[in-house]
Structure 1
Amino acid sequence: MLLWLLMLWGGPLDAALSYQLELQESVTVQEGLCVHVPCTFSYPWFAFAPPYMSWFQKGADVNHDPPVATNRPNQKLHERTQGRFFLHGDLQTKDCSLDIKGVNMGDSGTYFFQIFTYSYLDNMLSLNVTALTHTPDILIPGTLESGRPGNLTCSVPWACERGTPPIFSWTSVALTSLGPRTHFSSVLTLTPRPQDHGTNLTCQVYFPAAGVMVERTVQLNVTYAPQNTAIRIFQGNRTVLKILQNTSSVLILEGQALRLLCAADSSPPAELSWFRGSPAWNATPINRSANLDLPQVGAAEEGDLTCQAQNPLGSQHVSLHLSVVYPPRLLSPSCSWEGEGLHCNCSSRAQPAPTLRWRLGEGLLEGNHSNASWTITSSSAGPWANSSLSLSGPLGSSLRLSCEARNAHGSQSAAFLLLPGTPEPRTSGVLGAVGGAGSIALLSLCLCLFFRVKTCRKKAAQPVQSMDMNPASSLGSGAHQHQSWTDSPADHPAPADASPISREEQELHYALLRFPKLKPQKWESIHTEYTEIKAHK
């Protein structure tokens, strides 16, 4: 009979006659997670009692203290473990496994198993709870492109399915909206903008059962076309201007050095190129870098310069108009005798266009004016300015006349000097005696005719002197100088320092024109040039 009962029990004789427990004595788990502790037991075959089992924390009074888990219906449980510790005991399979969800630090300790009224104190469970080190996973499919919505997923695949669902929260400066969620994940729909590139996105997960929170932060990598393209202008070590809009005009003094630096905001970084004018589809850039150095700005650099920023998502360009300015330059002023007056022309080129004025003695003449003695006619076109002065009436050798051109960047003047010459020949007087002698009267008439014919011959030959001196000659460099006589007979008149010539012999007009050449620093050159004044009778 005893043998038959042992066969029904289905175990060895020692297991049938004793209490035994098999379980992992030490278990370590992170807070907030779940743990399953496998356990099997045996008890004597003759111990007939109700199949109630329980787990108690070490030190508990099994007769008065509530268990942490039990399979007894309506049994009061320890309030710390209620709803988190579960015992699914099975007397037939001898299963005493313990399930814990939402483990917290307070669960650390030692626990023992009891069946019927017997406690298995020889084999107890040691539960060690450590801090939660797992962090959420953030999945960003593909590339975030500006303006295009994308779904981001935050998940905790390591969380236990039996536990209380965690609470997900997102933090971002980007435009977002919550999408669907599961027990282990949450979806966020994000519409990125260029300004969201490089900003932080944080997913926080809170486990209410354990009272712990974990998070993960990532930086958004948003791609977008170039924007905010700008040109910085450097002179020396300082920034003089920053251009953000097209068609901005920049004034630069001729000869100065200029450095242009182009920058654009884009992701991925844009390729920067410089063009003259507007960049056409197949135009070749003048420079393929952010910097464009102009060591000495001249007329060739004047015009539109364009910086183009381009990446796979698009392009943007910004242009500036470079205007080269320079002080006035007088171009071959001249004077000539026309009829009974002196006519002078003065032309100048500058940027901005110069203003021309005449200085006659102590007075200033400008604009378009006239009176009985002088007439001024002025005009301008683009960088050119022209002015002419006509003087009538007698002109003395002490006359001071000059033409002056000026703008905001400097001035230049040319002085005209009238050299002294013989005055107009006077009509000879008639020599005669008071009386009525016929011989005396006839002789007087002959003498009168003789002198008048001689004077007319001398008036027919009126030379004009023209001198052209090399600028070096005025500095005593030894350079040669030459002079020529025009519109004169073969007999050359004497120079000015020779002995005086009678008024009846010849009539000469001398003129000297001096050109002070100005530098951009507005100092007057000592170079001197002479021009010709032609006489027209």
Structure 2
Amino acid sequence: MVQEGLCVLVPCSFYYPWSSQNYYNILTYWFRGEGNHLTATLVATNYYWNKVKPEIAGRFKLLSDSTNSCSLSITGARKEDQGAYFFRVERGNDKYSYKEKKLNLQVTAQPDIDFEKPLVSGQPARLTCTVWGSCDGKAPLFSWLGDALDSLRSMIKNSQVLCFTPRLQDHGSNLTCRVKVPQAQVSTERTIRLNVSSLKTVQNASSLSILEGQAVRLLCEADSNPPARLSWFRRSLSENDTILSNSSTLELPSVRRTDEGAFTCLAENYLGSQLVFLSLSVNSTPHLQGPSCFWEDKVLHCSCFSQAWPVPSLSWWQEDQALRAINYETSKITTKSEGPWANSTVSLRGGLGAGLRLICKAQNAHGERSSAVLLLTGGRPPPFTCAEQEQGSWPLVLTLIRGGLMGAGFLLTYGLTWIYYT
């Protein structure tokens, strides 16, 4: 193979069993073509009577007059020089064409760019620009051009071997090797498109908060070449973890408190693997239970419970006033919380009039819930109720009337039974 416009030397030697009585000069020939020596094109010979075509003369030369040398020099190679060549030797009546061992000449129009190894983002790379063929005189002049080389010094870019570190953004950009051969007045170049492999995940956030019951779509992205295989796992990656999704997205149509925790995205290609971790927090609006009330030793006790995340705060109100702002001689409010649960108890003694309306209110950053209990009258109510009926003389009169009616009924039943049997 030879670069168009350059030179190539083809070393060659041969052997032929000449007869001992053969005193003729050895004549050597090089032909181009698939036919015999009569139809093929003569390109070089040491027999001055045979003429070579003007466009070929001077560019193909036999290098030695040695009796067993067939070395050939080609200068200023052209595209039309490409093809098959065979060697022929003559000495008197001994003549032979070496058609079983041909020279196949390829003429390329561009230099070759060779990679020591595939390009990987962030890893040093070594590229070589190669021209096939050489000529006597100065060596070819090399230069490299491309956006990936903007930061390199000029002396590094004017060498046959290029050393640089490709970046992710260099993938798909052009790189050109330009070669100039002064003595042959030839300038040629080759441009390639860089294929830079990479594995890089894109993480927009490491944590996410969402309200319970809402839908969420988790997205994992990898800026990689070749494209990375993406999958989602729950918690940390281990052999026992179940794959939740074999794509870049993970759908959670209705988030529950049990979904809270860590999720892992795995990105893989032939360069290796990377993990992206996401912590999911599930928040909720308050759920309220109560209030419920009971009397004990002339003290009214009311309590309520609430569940939410973040844990809600509980407060007691009378109409539109916080209970802590009302001046009761004896009152006590106790509030406790554990995990997502909060409970509050209020104890009131004395000064409780009819129509007392107590409100328990639960509140966090995501919402508010409230519930009320109404104290109907003063006095001591039946157990486990906050409503009370007034006690006095009327209940006693009603009780006596009910007793008289029951007695009269008994006597009437007894009298009718006696009459029936007598």
Distance (whole Å) between structure 2 residues aligned to residue 220 and residue 289 of structure 1: 28
1:191/1:394 CA distance change after superposition, 3 Å: closer
Aligned pairs (5 A) from 1:159-308: 159-162=133-136, 164-172=138-146, 173=148, 186-209=160-183, 213-224=187-198, 226-230=199-203, 242-243=204-205, 248-308=206-266
Q: CA deviation at 1:310?
A: 2.0
Aligned pairs (5 A) from 1:394-433: 394-420=351-377, 423=379
Give SS of 2:245's match: coil
Amino acid at match of 2:219: L
1:133/1:278 CA distance change after superposition, 3 Å: same
Give SS of 1:269's match: coil
Q: Identify the residue that residue 357 of structure 1 maps to in structure 2.
A: 315
Mapped contact 1:202–1:217 kept (Cα < 8 A): yes
Aligned pairs (5 A) from 1:101-112: none
Mapped contact 1:101–1:163 kept (Cα < 8 A): no
Distance (whole Å) between structure 2 residues aligned to residue 35 and residue 338 of structure 1: 127
Distance (whole Å) between structure 2 residues aligned to residue 378 and residue 327 of structure 1: 19
Give me the identity figure in percent.
45
Greater shift, 313-322 or 133-142, is seen at 133-142
Mapped contact 2:265–2:275 kept (Cα < 8 A): yes
Amino acid at match of 2:160: S
Q: CA deviation at 1:272?
A: 1.1
Q: Does 1:144 align with 2:102?
A: no
1:35/1:415 CA distance change after superposition, 3 Å: farther
Distance (whole Å) between structure 1 residues aligned to residue 384 and residue 291 of structure 2: 17
Runs of 4+ in structure 1 deviating by more than 6 angstroms, as ranges, are: 175-179
Gaps of at least 5 residues in structure 2 are 1-48, 64-73, 79-106, 398-422
Instruction: Work out the number of aligned pairs and report it.
Output: 310
Gaps of at least 5 residues in structure 1 are 1-19, 28-33, 39-87, 89-98, 104-131, 231-241, 425-461, 468-492, 507-537
Distance (whole Å) between structure 1 residues aligned to residue 354 and residue 313 of structure 2: 28
The correspondence for 1:386, drawn from 339, 343, 348, is 343
Give SS of 2:258's match: helix
Deviations 1:268-290 (A, max 9, x none): 32221111111124533211111
Choose 1 or 2 for highest CA Rg: 1
Q: Identify the residue that residue 59 of structure 2 maps to in structure 1.
A: 36
Distance (whole Å) between structure 2 residues aligned to residue 165 and residue 366 of structure 1: 97
Mapped contact 1:229–1:317 kept (Cα < 8 A): no
Q: Normalization by structure 2: what TM-score?
A: 0.62
1:418/1:371 CA distance change after superposition, 3 Å: closer
1:410/1:147 CA distance change after superposition, 3 Å: closer
Distance (whole Å) between structure 2 residues aligned to residue 267 and residue 227 of structure 1: 9
Deviations 1:13-54 (A, max 9, x none): xxxxxxx99442456xxxxxx97178xxxxxxxxxxxxxxxx
Q: Identify the residue that residue 505 of structure 1 maps to in structure 2.
A: 396
Mapped contact 1:352–1:407 kept (Cα < 8 A): yes
Of structures 1 and 2, the one with the larger relative CO (CA 8 A, separation 6+) is 2
Q: CA deviation at 1:464?
A: 4.7
Give SS of 2:251's match: strand
Distance (whole Å) between structure 2 residues aligned to residue 331 and residue 399 of structure 1: 20
Q: CA deviation at 1:222?
A: 3.4
Amino acid at match of 2:267: A
Mapped contact 1:102–1:163 kept (Cα < 8 A): no
Give SS of 1:505's match: helix
Q: CA deviation at 1:405?
A: 0.8
CA RMSD of aligned residues (A): 4.1
Deviations 1:470-493 (A, max 9, x none): xxxxxxxxxxxxxxxxxxxxxxx9
